[in-house]
Structure 1
């Protein structure tokens, strides 16, 4: 290459390399000061997309852990209240056993026992009505399908239900009266729905149900017995069926869902009136029926009947507490699993996005040395054209 002064190629070359080194040095400084290998999409476009997806998962899982902890708190609130419900029922049973000792008790003594039992029944109702979590009642029998989002994605949920009411009526001990000479009941009659509201179940399409005329289109409402229920809207009729055939179809559907009593009788009998359909429950005074019936009535009276009814109520509370304990254990295992997932995903995201400080320091040192060398060489390159002056002397 000739000796020229208009274009200093060596200086241009040194400047280009120095600019590249300075750019690398600047990036190294940014990574070392931020701790991130990826500070903008240009640093690693694919890595940025992957790490952002992982960040979404990590954030969602961390929130899922908090949600699961809320679930544990709710379960503990309900279970803690049921602990006292159990204590009340045990006390009521002790009192009933005492009242059954008729050989040593007069009417006044039994009346005193019943006074305490009455107060305890009221307390059962108060606990059932006032046990809440964030404003939601837990023990009135209507907390069903409480869903907790315990994962980062749709569908990762745990459902908590407390469908058994814990008032004296729902537990079957409202009618307990140790002063009475009778024990149990032959028939308890009411109408009921899943919400526990007594009354007539409505029928869509007409207001006169005495004959269930042909204009009758369908049913709406629910009939419930214990833990079984029938959605009346699911009852189907054949085209052109008569009124009696339709009533029979309803009764068959009720029997299929709610069962029958010993001897083949209807557990719940349906009848048509001028204002709607009514449902009557036939209850034999057995421990099993007392344990499963949600329909209110003149329930177990007398000391013996009280013991039977309270035993059934204790079983209900025990079953509910067992379910809640199982759900709490599930929540705790879920939290452990989610914490492991957060740890592993965070490690994966770190490998993609975070700076390896040791490796980056090596790169920074190299760039720093090259920058110093490039600066020195650029100074040398600038002096090359000065050799022309020697030729001009």
Structure 2
């Protein structure tokens, strides 16, 4: 018998410590509900669980992203619903004006409403926003991140829904004159509108009886085409007026042409009493350039050392340009106020800023042609709404899939991370009893050395 080392007590104490540690571990799991509270509980399981948690949280955020995307689409589509209503009213007015029971005065009143409706279309395109992002002016190109990982995106573009983009309203911008070398065949003191022709349009060349491609045309007030051009510079008149529908059977005249110094592909052409034509082309306005007439000036102006400038009707210098094309605000050189397709460097030239003419229903023929134009605009808006509707339906399915994936991943992560309460309660009960038993046995082992005293008596 020995007394320096009570091996039985040491063993009982060790077992008691192990049982108490196991009991404490069970209490931690039972109180937190987690089977893994620290890396030591299950190192591999912790790593797998954290990776799954990243996926789950990413999927849940992707659901929120998709919902925000749907909200944006609904905002744009709702605005286009009103655009559709406006276009349908414009079409109704065009049909009404096409009827010759109306007088010129009646048609003038109908034209007023069409002009205001065109302005309303442009207002919708410029003012429809989502979180300060403009949606319908042609600038929106968005990416919706609808997944938990890199590259899981959906890109959406919304086209310009303004009146000018739909070809039912005037072009906001500046107009300026381009002189021509006069030919013959256009009527004096008459204005002709420049029109972009359909791709593949041709006319018959009278010189060699061959078909030639044309891209631009001059139309009179009745909507008839009287001259055509391939490049926008050389306009050849037709032997007889033609419509877009029978243009392929039209024949070019051999001795009538207008040669412009620069390409004229938009705006209008005005022929004066001397037979000289000036084209009113359209430029793009930027910021801080109010409607009105501006005059081009050169270095004769005291404030201009190089290039050209624009003076308003009060004689104030409002813009300058080094090349005559890109005009900057005089008060803020970082702001572009005007961009022209050709260089405007001739001192004394005038630039008129404002709205171009909109859809014309002031005559029976133009109103009749306007019906097709408006119908085309309606079809364009329909196509855009259909596209957005398809994206919205796709996002709906994406949200459902994300929810299912997040649910299944959560279940998988739960099996790794969460504790089985019933099983762990069994472990706790066992360890608790073992702790009590070990404590009792430790007390018994402490009594064993007392037997040595019997030998010492």
Common fold, TM-score beyond 0.5?
A: yes
**Equivalences for residues 1-393 of structure 1 within 5 A:** 3-102=1-100, 104-144=101-141, 146-163=142-159, 165-174=160-169, 187-188=194-195, 260-262=200-202, 263-267=211-215, 280=232, 285=244, 297=267, 301=360, 302-393=366-457
Q: Counterpart in 2 of 1:192?
A: none
> Quick one: distance in 2 between partners of 1:4 and 1:82?
98
Query: How far apart are residue 300 of structure 1 and its match?
Result: 6.0
Do the aligned residues in 1 keep the contact of 2:193 with 2:267 (CA within 8 Å)? no
Q: Describe the SS at the equivalent of 1:188.
A: strand
> Quick one: distance in 2 between partners of 1:320 and 1:333?
20
> Quick one: distance in 2 between partners of 1:286 and 1:72?
42
Q: Describe the SS at the equivalent of 1:110.
A: helix
Do the aligned residues in 2 keep the contact of 1:172 with 1:296 (CA within 8 Å)? no
Query: How far apart are residue 105 of structure 1 and its match?
Result: 1.1
Q: Which has the higher contact order (CA 8 A, sep 6+)?
A: 1
Q: CA RMSD in A?
A: 2.7
Q: Describe the SS at the equivalent of 1:172.
A: coil
Q: Describe the SS at the equivalent of 2:102.
A: coil
Unaligned runs of 5+ in 1: 177-184, 190-224, 227-258, 270-277, 288-294
1:280–1:370 CA distance, 2 compared to 1 (3 A):
farther
Query: How far apart are residue 264 of structure 1 and its match?
Result: 5.0
Where is the strand percentage greater, Structure 1 or Structure 2?
Answer: 2
Query: How far apart are residue 280 of structure 1 and its match?
Result: 3.8
Instruction: Single out whichever of 130-139 and 295-304 deviates more from structure 2.
Output: 295-304
> Quick one: distance in 1 between partners of 2:419 and 2:2?
46
> Quick one: distance in 2 between partners of 1:122 and 1:158?
33
Q: Describe the SS at the equivalent of 2:105.
A: helix
1:28–1:280 CA distance, 2 compared to 1 (3 A):
farther
Do the aligned residues in 1 keep the contact of 2:90 with 2:117 (CA within 8 Å)? yes
Unaligned runs of 5+ in 2: 172-191, 203-210, 218-229, 236-241, 247-264, 269-357, 361-365
Do the aligned residues in 1 keep the contact of 2:62 with 2:146 (CA within 8 Å)? yes
1:300–1:109 CA distance, 2 compared to 1 (3 A):
closer
Do the aligned residues in 2 keep the contact of 1:187 with 1:284 (CA within 8 Å)? no
Count of residue pairs the alignment pairs up: 298
> C-alpha offsets along residues 291-342 of structure 1, whole Å, 9 cap, x if unaligned?
xxxx865686421111111011000000000000000000000000000000
1:94–1:83 CA distance, 2 compared to 1 (3 A):
same
Do the aligned residues in 1 keep the contact of 2:90 with 2:374 (CA within 8 Å)? yes
> C-alpha offsets along residues 174-224 of structure 1, whole Å, 9 cap, x if unaligned?
269xxxxxxxx88426xxxxxxxxxxxxxxxxxxxxxxxxxxxxxxxxxxx
Q: Give the TM-score, by structure 1 length.
A: 0.71
1:50–1:261 CA distance, 2 compared to 1 (3 A):
same
Do the aligned residues in 2 keep the contact of 1:169 with 1:296 (CA within 8 Å)? no
> Quick one: distance in 1 between partners of 2:231 and 2:417?
67
Query: How far apart are residue 108 of structure 1 and its match?
Result: 1.4
> Quick one: distance in 2 between partners of 1:284 and 1:388?
129
Do the aligned residues in 1 keep the contact of 2:58 with 2:149 (CA within 8 Å)? yes
1:62–1:280 CA distance, 2 compared to 1 (3 A):
farther
Do the aligned residues in 2 keep the contact of 1:175 with 1:297 (CA within 8 Å)? no
